[in-house]
Structure 1
Amino acid sequence: MSQPTLKDRINDALKTAMRAKEKERVAVLRLVMSEFKKIEVDERIEVDDARALVVLDKMVKQRRDSEQQYRNANRPELAEQEAYEITEIQAYLPAALSAAELDAIVSKALADAAVTEARDMGKAMALIKPQVQGRADMGEVSKLLKAKLSN
């Protein structure tokens, strides 16, 4: 039998959390499943693992932004809720890349795409993005890429 998809694993976790009456976890997992469902209805496609990673990565980024805004507004209880949601969602993302691994991927992409100027950065990003999706912040990747091109 094939390995369960990311969507199936999250759905199973949702059912388990419902049986265990874990209200907060159920709420987060329902949010994730509703995002998947929205994409499936709007685009008439089945969410695969690659698309699920993109969705989860986006959800984590949104929550980080919200958490920072809540902390700036002196609303620690709301910031803690966002932090909790981040940890729940990140459990389904692959392990984050180390700085050395990310540096190696960026260097290889620059060499493979023969990019030497910042205006050609998109070519390198096209090679990097599928490799780091869900494992690194694309903003950080962009900064690293710009730094390498400016040297």
Structure 2
Amino acid sequence: MELLERLNNDMKQAMKNREKQKLAVIRMVKASLQNEAIKLGKDQLSEDEGLTVLNRELKQRKDSLHEFRAAGRDDLADKTQAELDVLQAYMPEQLSDEELNVIVKETISEVGATSKADMGKVMSAIMPKVKGKADGSQVNKIVMQNLS
């Protein structure tokens, strides 16, 4: 598993460089990956499953960041932002709005969607295509624009 190898190498490097924050985040991600593997009853996760775990961790951090900023807790917001930055390094390159727009239009025509009532069909068809490469809320916004 390429992700696990990268995490292990980066963990060793973070130990050598005494980067406590980065080391803590990497250990947390490795633990999440291991927990998911145990939950699924596997020795190792596939790349896709690993990406799902990373997405979940990113989403949790983004939600926390939003809450901390709303509560005026800049100390916690800064710590969470640093964790987000470390996690982001392990994600695949994100799609641009233009690339995402093309995928959305193709999927809408594939599904035959014509109105916002078809939103669920479009989203369920699109999300596997852009998994890890685009944020779900961003995809949702572009789909809404194209269906209106």
Regarding TM over 0.5, the answer is: yes
Deviates more, 1:104-113 or 1:44-53: 44-53
**Which of the residues 58, 64, 67 maps onto 2:65?**
67
* TM-score calculated relative to the size of structure 1: 0.89
CA apart distance, 1:69:
1.1
Which residue pairs with 2:79 in the alignment?
Answer: 81
* Aligned 1:41-56 pairs, distance under 5 A: 41-45=38-42, 46-56=44-54
Q: Percent identity?
A: 35
Equivalent position amino acid for 2:137 in 1: G
* Aligned 1:100-139 pairs, distance under 5 A: 100-139=98-137
- Structure 2: segments with no counterpart, 5+ residues: none
Instruction: Determine the C-alpha separation between the residues in 2 that align with 1:44 and 1:8.
Output: 20
Instruction: Determine the C-alpha separation between the residues in 2 that align with 1:71 and 1:124.
Output: 33
Partner of 1:70: helix, strand, or coil?
A: helix
RMSD (Å) for aligned C-alpha atoms:
1.5
CA apart distance, 1:23:
1.0
CA apart distance, 1:143:
2.1
Whether the 8 Å CA contact 2:36–2:53 is kept in 1: the answer is: no
Which residue pairs with 1:12 in the alignment?
Answer: 9
Instruction: Determine the C-alpha separation between the residues in 2 that align with 1:121 and 1:7.
Output: 35
* TM-score calculated relative to the size of structure 2: 0.91
CA apart distance, 1:34:
0.6
